[in-house]
């Protein structure tokens, strides 16, 4: 009789443990999802913050480029901010300059995860206008660069000094 009572007691305890472990497993799946979502959002916040700082710094250099010609102003902006000519991104009305960054926000020659792109309008007489943008990049199946996300864009202009 005592043995049968111990077996029933053991079964009840074992069942309770299985139920507790099952509930814990279900809850842990949702907690893990929350941690993954928080990590992704934190990464996006860092990228957006870094993009804003970089685009703003180039825009500030642009504002301080006091020159008499658009070519001199562009040269000054390039020298002070480290951007280089990128003719692949030229349009009919704009000249493209930029810098690639890897995932750790270090400058790289090409194929980075981010692109700081500066577009200067070609037709300038007294005002040098354009856009400073930072894009997130991905590669498609053919290793072509795709613009994934525009993290930050600033329209900027300066009045060229008269000679």
pLDDT in tens, 30-72: 999 999 999 999 988 998 999 898 888 888 888 888 777 788 8
On whether residue 24 sits in a domain, the answer given is no
Which pLDDT score, from 0 to 100, does residue 29 have?
Answer: 93
Section 89-105 average pLDDT: 86
On whether residue 83 sits in a domain, the answer given is yes
The pLDDT tens digits for 98-108 are 888 888 888 88
On whether residue 25 sits in a domain, the answer given is no
Burial of 79 (0-12, 13-18, 19+ CB in 10 A): exposed
More confident residue, 43 or 143: 43
d(CA 129, CA 120): 6
On whether residue 137 sits in a domain, the answer given is yes
Which pLDDT score, from 0 to 100, does residue 66 have?
Answer: 76
On whether residue 149 sits in a domain, the answer given is yes
| Integer angstrom CA distances of residue 48 from 82, 136, 157 | 20, 10, 23
On whether residue 93 sits in a domain, the answer given is yes
**Total tally of structural domains belonging to the chain:** 1
pTM for the predicted model, two decimal places: 0.72
**Max CA separation in the chain (angstroms):** 111
Half-sphere CA count of 157, side-chain side, radius 13 A: 10
Nearest to 147 by CA among 121, 120, 113, 123: 113
> Percent of the chain having pLDDT more than 90?
15
Query: Whole-number mean pLDDT of the chain?
Result: 84
On whether residue 88 sits in a domain, the answer given is yes
Least confident range from 54-58, 93-97, 109-113, 148-152: namely 109-113
On whether residue 115 sits in a domain, the answer given is yes
Structural domain of 129: 35-159
């Amino acid at each position: 009789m005592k043995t049968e009572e111990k077996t029933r007691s053991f079964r009840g305890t074992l069942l309770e443990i299985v139920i507790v472990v099952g509930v814990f497993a279900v809850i842990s799946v949702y907690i893990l999802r929350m941690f993954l979502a928080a990590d992704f959002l934190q990464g996006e916040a860092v990228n957006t913050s870094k993009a804003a700082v970089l685009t703003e710094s180039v825009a500030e250099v642009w504002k301080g480029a006091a020159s008499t010609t658009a070519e001199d102003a562009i040269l000054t902006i390039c020298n002070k901010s480290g951007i280089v000519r990128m003719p692949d991104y030229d349009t009919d009305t704009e000249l493209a300059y930029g810098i690639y960054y890897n995932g750790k926000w270090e400058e790289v020659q090409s194929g980075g995860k981010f692109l700081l792109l500066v577009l200067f309008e070609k037709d300038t007489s007294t005002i040098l206008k354009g856009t400073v943008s930072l894009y997130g990049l991905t590669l498609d199946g053919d290793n072509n660069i795709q613009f994934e996300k525009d993290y930050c864009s600033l329209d900027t202009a300066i009045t060229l000094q008269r000679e």
